[in-house]
Every structure is written in C-alpha cells, then in structure tokens.
Amino acid sequence: MDSSELKPIAGGGLLDRRLFMQKGLCFSLAAMAAGSSEASMSSSQRLPWMREPGKAFSNYGQPSPYERRTIRWTMGNEMAPGNGVSWTPLHDLEGMITPNGLHFERHHNGVPQIDPQQHQLLIHGLVRQALVFDLQDLLRYPMTSCLCFVECGGNSNAGWHRRPIQTAAGYFHGMASCSEWTGVPLRILLEEAKVKGGGKWMIAEGADAAAMNISIPLEKAFDDCILALYQNGERIRPENGYPLRLIVPGWEGVVNVKWLRRLHITNRPTMARNETAKYTDLLPSGKARQFSFVMDAKSLITSPSFGQRLLEPGLYQISGLAWSGRGRIARVEVSADGGESWAEAELQAPVLAKCFTRFRIPWQWEGDNTVIKSRAVDESGYVQPEREALIARRGRHGYFHYNAIVSWKISAQGDISHVY
C-alpha cells in the first residue's frame, strides 16, 4: 500500500486506528541493504561487542549507560534539599508501567531510611481495640494487587500559568506514574480494630521527619485502599514509602501516604496543612473547593511531544497516556488540526480502572504547521476539558488539579512547542 492511498479519517492526516493491523503497509524507513546483505553482516561483526566476551552477570541490573539521560528531573529547595519534587520522564517511556527507578517523588522532608525491623503501624482512635502491627505481622496477612496510577494533586500545575511552559511532557505532567502495588487490604485491619459507630475519617501519618499527615474518609478506606508492601513485584523503594505505603486508587497522590506509621480513626477531618493550605482550589466565587480527592480524567500525547523533532513528512504513530480516578478510560480522541476534528485512538489492552492506558493512532504528517492534542473520556462519561473550559469553571487562581487538554504545535520544520 502506498502512502498516497491512505485515507484520513480526520483533519491534519489522522488515519484509522486499525490501520497498522492491515497488511501491506509500507513505512519505507529502512535502508535497502547495500550490495550484498552478507557484506553488511560482516562489517557489523567488526563491532567490539561481537569480538570480545561481554560483561558478567549482575545481582541487580541497571539501565544501559547510553540511556543515562532518561532520569527523574528533580527540583529541590536549596535551603531544604529534601523538600521538592522529581518527575517521571513520560516523554522517554512507552507502555503503561513506570519502572520503579523512575516513579515520581514528592517529599516534604526528604527520604527516611527506615529499618523495617523497627517500623510499626498503629491503628487507634475511634476503635474498640487499638492495634500495633510489625512488618512481620503485616507480611502474614492476605494480599491483593492493583495496577494503578498515583498522581500528585499538583501535577501539571504549570498549566495554570498565563504562558504555556516550554518543557518536556514528563517534566510538565510527570508527577504521575503507574505501578502494580501489592499489599494487605486495609479493610481487613480496620475490621480487626473494630471501628466504633462515630468513626467516619482516618488521619494517615507517615514516619518521615515531616510526619506528613492527611485525612481520608473511612468509606474509601473500606472500599479499595491497600497497605502496600510491594511495587512492581519487589519491596517498595525508600522514596516511594519503604517499608509501607497507603495506596488509595484513583485519589490524589498526597493521600497515598508513604512510610505509613499511623491511622487515627476520627469523627471528622483533622484540617491538616495538606487539606487546608494545600490541595484545595480557590474558585471564582471566592469559596475554596476542599477534599477533591478523585483525580479527574486526563490524557497527553507523549510522542511526538516537546523536545522531540519530526525529521521529515511521513507516516507516524501518535502515542500517549490517559487515566482517570473514576474508573476505566472509555475512549481517547486525538486531533491533528488544533481541535477542529477528532479521531478515536486505539487503546492498548488491558484497559484497567484507575490505571494508565496507552493510546496510539496512525498519522500522516504532510509537513504543515499544525497542532495535535488528545482528549480522554472515562467510563463515567467525564470528558477531559479544554483549558478555557477548565478556567471558566475553576478560575484563574488555581494551582492544583489541572487536567485540561494538552496541545503541541508542530512547525513546518518539525519542531514541537507547547501552546494553549
């Protein structure tokens, strides 16, 4: 099939999402083997790694030195180096899993180096029996696993800026990562402690030097919260909460308390710093939106995106991520003409609730100036808003909970910038 035969299904050259499942598609990106292919083979046999024995086995592997640019970009506070953020480089990744070394971080007072033998979890307050759990106790309890995203409530906050930030997709939206978390269903421990009738909230507290705490409704705790001990198969890493992290699927990152040491059952929220001064949204009415825990549906195109470059007109695959705190992604629509027309992207199976979903769609770029963007719709029917719609609803003083559509401008030279 010649590329001139390809029929766009939306403006800007978007093609049917099933195109790549058809036969006979020709990208013609490869070089034809020059001369005899045997000549090409023998020349590559002169490469050093085919001539000398390779490296020995390792007890624990690391990325290739050629990938050392694929890192979490960190932003700390010079006066308090453990207070800040590191971003997952979403623009360098593919698929839906975030490798453990690249899961985003948000710390208030650095990463505690906890000895698991000395770590305990206390459940107390409005319970019939306050209980203390050692790690060895917890490891004996029944476990469950959940593939889900964790996203900071402050992720993508540069979207509130008056001018579009020019930075890589991951350093804009990468306070979101996705792992398989395994641990003890919190419900089981709460039932052992026997919550009293008045118990409606729990205050979760971490064992870091900030003793970070936040209030969570008990209804969610009984629903699907996990006391996670494992992340992507292995024990959780220090910066992600070793040895114990509360996982609250679909809810803003700050409630997924790391280094969890205490659950205090109460009849009302404690009104801690992170639910009053932070993670609230001042609305145009002058009132503030509080306890907006569920992360609304979001999507973004990771390839092509800022910092990458299209070298020539031709056939491309647009690839990105979508997720929603309300459940499964129902569909992702992509526009390659600045939002005038949209086409549905292919969703990579399995499509799981409250989990990153990879979407992909073929695209014939003719070398014109254009704007590409994506729009997620979740199973509740929620539609990711355009930026103007989000600002109309939430005002101009926002910092948290930004989930508007992300637009990348492609220049005729193939350069990519962020535009509103």
- Residue 167's CB is within 10 A of a number of other CB atoms, namely 17
* Minimal distance, residue 270 CB to a second copy, in Å: 14
- For residue 292 the two structure tokens come to 């907006």
Beta-bridge partner residues of 391: none
Residues 6+ apart with CB under 8 A from 100: 179, 231, 232, 234, 237, 240
- Residue 223: CB minimum distance to a second copy, A: 13
Considering beta carbons, is residue 28 or 290 the nearer one to a second copy? 28
Nearer to a second copy, 5 or 115 (CB): 115
Nearest distance in Å: CB 420, a second copy: 28
Residue in the structure block whose two tokens are 């526009």:
335
Helix H or strand E segment including 149: strand 144-151
Q: Which is nearer to a second copy, 101 or 198 (CB)?
A: 101
Q: How far is the CB of 14 from a second copy (least distance, A)?
A: 14
Minimum CB distance to a second copy, residue 122 (Å) = 6
Alpha carbon separation from 284 to 385, 388, 395 (Å, rounded): 17, 14, 5
d(CA 222, CA 189): 10
Nearer to a second copy, 18 or 161 (CB): 18
List 357's β-bridge partners, or say none: 322
What does the longest C-alpha to C-alpha distance in the chain come to?
82
CA pseudo-torsion sign 348, 354, 356, 362: positive
Name the residue nearer to a second copy (CB basis): 209 or 383. Answer: 209
- Burial (0-12, 13-18, 19+ Cβ within 10 Å), 79: exposed
* Min CB(355)–a second copy separation in Å: 10
Smallest separation, CB 237 to a second copy (Å): 5
What is the C-alpha separation between 223 and 410, in angstroms, rounded?
44
Rounded to the nearest 10°, the torsion over CA 227, 230, 233, 236 is 140
**179 closest CA partner among 214, 139, 213, 228:** 228
For strand 226-231 and strand 234-235, is the pairing parallel, antiparallel, or unpaired? antiparallel
Which is nearer to a second copy, 18 or 396 (by Cβ)? 18
Contact between 410 and 300 under an 8 Å Cβ cutoff? The reply is no
Q: How far is the CB of 390 from a second copy (least distance, A)?
A: 28
Q: Which is nearer to a second copy, 43 or 290 (CB)?
A: 43
**39/41 Cα distance (integer angstroms):** 5
Give me the least distance between CB of 319 and a second copy, in Å please.
Answer: 7
